Structure 1
Amino acid sequence: MTERTQTRQTQAGTGLGFGALFSKHVISARYVAGAWSGLEVRDFEDLRFSPAAMVMHYGQAIFEGLKAFRATDSDEVLIFRAADCARRFDRSAARMAMPPLPAGMFLDAVRTLVGVDVAEVPSVPGSSLYIRPVMFADEPSLAVRPSTEFSFLVLASPVDSFFASGRTMIDAYAQSSHIRAALGGTGDVKCSGNYAGAMAAKADAQRHDCDEVLWLDAREHHYVEEFGAMNCFVVRGSGERAELITPPLAGTILPGHTRATVITLAGRRGLTVLQEPIELGQVLDDGGPVSEVFACGTAAGVAPVHRILTDTGRERIIGDQPGPLTAQLAADYVAVTHGQLEPEPDWIIRIPG
């Protein structure tokens, strides 16, 4: 293996970006002859594997994303919703004909990595340690079948803003020439191919000075589904009559853990939360009932939407400032991930800082 020089954080949170720097260690395990090895703590370094590794030819790969945060009022580091990630990782593995991890291995790997690299969890507001578990097929074969050998890795990256623009509000581009997922596909699991297939649409959005794609349904291109790497919420109405709406999980949308967190936090505030189809036309209607739009995901947190542009040239400015409910839910999300708001059971794993 060839060692790669890493940048260790000394002034964490200063110009980190997203996914450009990495912590010093990786946790690894291998699946061979029908069984997983134990976990190993290794230095972060380049991998070596066969040019015939099946992941490069048939794309058998899945991943997860979660974060560790410095607690506001203690020396602890808080890993958020790791148990939910572990369950979704197993579900993704099953869909992609990959072996499940042994019970507890996912959580043990995440705890171990954060523990050995705890000094690299940044502390500046808006920053965190992004944790990336991944499994991929590394059997050397060109046979068109599921691999029989796999690698499991967990790596970590100190991060701040998910968006390269650094904007606090995002612009989204809705287009109908590409689709993200259809019923029966892989849209509701976290496989790498979903993201590869979305890159052309992401590049198209960026050419239109937008931060993200706003995906529409595969059949009619009429209903909002999700953003490029985030789920979608809209606020219908305002004041005491305001309702929070997100598209239902019907097989084409990734069941995001930030989405689930927002639904719980909204319920705590007594808000009406509905899971129902959202028409793009209603979102684009300046005089219509939709008053706020926001995206949410592990990497980005709660991201208010400033503008939506379509490939037909239709445009709506949602607002130059986050709407009141968006701002409240964004603040609640930050509070619960940093230990200032009571979490639900199994939301938090605590690591001594």
Structure 2
Amino acid sequence: MTQQPPAGTGLGFGALFTKHVVSARYVAGAWSGFELRAFEDLRFSPAAMVMHYGQAIFEGLKAFRSTAADEVLIFRAADCARRFDRSATRMAMPPLPAGMFVDAVRTLVEADAAEVPSAPGSSLYIRPVMVADEPSLAVRPSIEFSFLVLASPVDSFFASGRSMIDAYAQRDHIRAALGGTGDVKCAGNYAGAMAAKADAQAHNCDEVLWLDAREHRDVEEFGAMNCFVVRGEDDHAELITPGLGGTILPGHTRATVITLAGRRGLTVREEPIELSQVLDPYGPVSEVFACGTAAGVAPVHRILTDTGEERTIGDRPGPVTSLLAADYVAVTHGELEPEPDWITKIAG
């Protein structure tokens, strides 16, 4: 099972932070301008509403050192800004003023550009977050909020030395149902998933493989990543991912992979994926991979279920997964032409 590197052997994920944060406040119906300040502990009232009613949203994006020039490349900041505002609206929180999200991210990365790592597999993980900090126990939406952007130099999401992950599918918990918050990035989605994550780890797996809430039949997504399978092989290979129907987070890495696959001439279909088909060693599913900002493209080695079914997908990444993983690394590092608005450049 994947473990974070021991202290002193690498950056790990989310344990180290850069010198600065960006912050802004929403009070009396309006956002303040943001400011760059030193990274330090925050002070909230014990009655801050986020600690009682969970009004909190966040985003995740990365900055990479360009391999071709002395630049830092922020990937898909504008897309994250749009999703952040959509999450805010769903959680009865105020969207940011136009342009603030991207400007705040750029300001932080410019200030801490020297801390963007350059080793293969490393990056600067950027975490914008908004929380309800009004001191009140009233059961209603908060009227005061804090917006923060912090950053963490990271290695791969999974431990060095392990190139593939194991996933555990169980039916005791669900991630999201129609009408819920499954398609936005609110903190409560992750809190509710921790028990299932612990269950997966207890079964010597790295990640949860979530199933649909109604039938527990179709694959939806991994713990913090979207899901793809490859159906068929060679010239007949097709890339399949569950459609966005309100219960799946519309991941930016997912969207990137779909675009990159299209450039390669691969057929991409958004349709239900039955777990039974994924588990069938003689069926059409030849490869499985997860993808997300934190992990990039993560090939799946093995899937285990709560009923004892198990399938080893492969002991090495499949050809389609390998191709798309390489293209993803190339486009985020400036080696492959991006789509418009994918890259924000910062002098390194």
**Bucket of the pairwise TM-score, normalised by the shorter protein:** over 0.9
Contact 1:165/1:211, CA 8 A, preserved across alignment: no
1:30 to 21, 25, 29: 25
Residue 66 (1) aligns with residue 61 (2): yes
Residues 202-241 of structure 1 aligned to structure 2 (within 5 Å): 202-241=197-236
Q: Name the structure 1 match of 2:39.
A: 44
Residues 1-353 of structure 1 aligned to structure 2 (within 5 Å): 15-164=10-159, 167-353=162-348
Structure 1 residue 161, shift from structure 2 partner: 1.8
Residues 123-168 of structure 1: per-residue CA shift (max 9 Å, x gap): 0000000000000000000000000000000000000121257521
Q: 1:205 to 1:16 in 2, by over 3 A?
A: same
- AA aligned to 2:31 is W
Residues 105-137 of structure 1: per-residue CA shift (max 9 Å, x gap): 000000000000000000000000000000000
What is the DSSP-based 3-state SS (H/G/I as helix, E as strand, rest coil) of the residue aligned with 2:43?
coil
Residues of 2 paired with 1:169 and 1:351: CA distance? 32
Residues of 2 paired with 1:160 and 1:230: CA distance? 17
Structure 1 residue 273, shift from structure 2 partner: 0.1
Residues of 2 paired with 1:25 and 1:14: CA distance? 24
What is the DSSP-based 3-state SS (H/G/I as helix, E as strand, rest coil) of the residue aligned with 1:349?
strand
Residues of 2 paired with 1:118 and 1:61: CA distance? 27
What is the DSSP-based 3-state SS (H/G/I as helix, E as strand, rest coil) of the residue aligned with 1:99?
coil
Q: Name the structure 2 match of 1:5.
A: none
- AA aligned to 1:209 is N
How well do the aligned residues superpose, as a CA RMSD in angstroms? Answer: 0.9
Residues of 1 paired with 2:123 and 2:9: CA distance? 11
What is the DSSP-based 3-state SS (H/G/I as helix, E as strand, rest coil) of the residue aligned with 1:148?
coil
What is the DSSP-based 3-state SS (H/G/I as helix, E as strand, rest coil) of the residue aligned with 1:89?
helix
Residues of 2 paired with 1:233 and 1:212: CA distance? 15
Q: 1:19 to 1:166 in 2, by over 3 A?
A: farther
Residues of 2 paired with 1:164 and 1:183: CA distance? 34
- AA aligned to 1:173 is Y
The count of aligned residue pairs is 341
Residues of 2 paired with 1:337 and 1:165: CA distance? 20
Residues 292-317 of structure 1: per-residue CA shift (max 9 Å, x gap): 00000000000000000000000000
What is the DSSP-based 3-state SS (H/G/I as helix, E as strand, rest coil) of the residue aligned with 1:108?
helix
TM-score by length of 2: 0.97
Residues of 1 paired with 2:338 and 2:177: CA distance? 34
What is the DSSP-based 3-state SS (H/G/I as helix, E as strand, rest coil) of the residue aligned with 2:226?
strand
Q: How many percent identity over aligned positions?
A: 87
Q: Name the structure 2 match of 1:3.
A: none
Structure 1 residue 243, shift from structure 2 partner: 0.3
- AA aligned to 1:41 is L
- AA aligned to 1:201 is A
Structure 1 residue 220, shift from structure 2 partner: 0.5
Q: 1:41 to 1:142 in 2, by over 3 A?
A: same
Residues 152-204 of structure 1: per-residue CA shift (max 9 Å, x gap): 00000000121257521000000000000000000000000000000000000
Residues 65-94 of structure 1: per-residue CA shift (max 9 Å, x gap): 000000001000000000000000000000
What is the DSSP-based 3-state SS (H/G/I as helix, E as strand, rest coil) of the residue aligned with 1:283?
helix
Residues of 1 paired with 2:242 and 2:200: CA distance? 22
Residues 29-76 of structure 1: per-residue CA shift (max 9 Å, x gap): 000000000111110000001000000000000000000000001000
Q: 1:216 to 1:230 in 2, by over 3 A?
A: same
Unaligned runs of 5+ in 1: 1-12
TM-score by length of 1: 0.96
- AA aligned to 1:263 is I
What is the DSSP-based 3-state SS (H/G/I as helix, E as strand, rest coil) of the residue aligned with 1:16?
coil
Residues of 2 paired with 1:136 and 1:165: CA distance? 33
Residues of 2 paired with 1:148 and 1:277: CA distance? 40
Structure 1 residue 14, shift from structure 2 partner: 6.0
- AA aligned to 1:341 is L
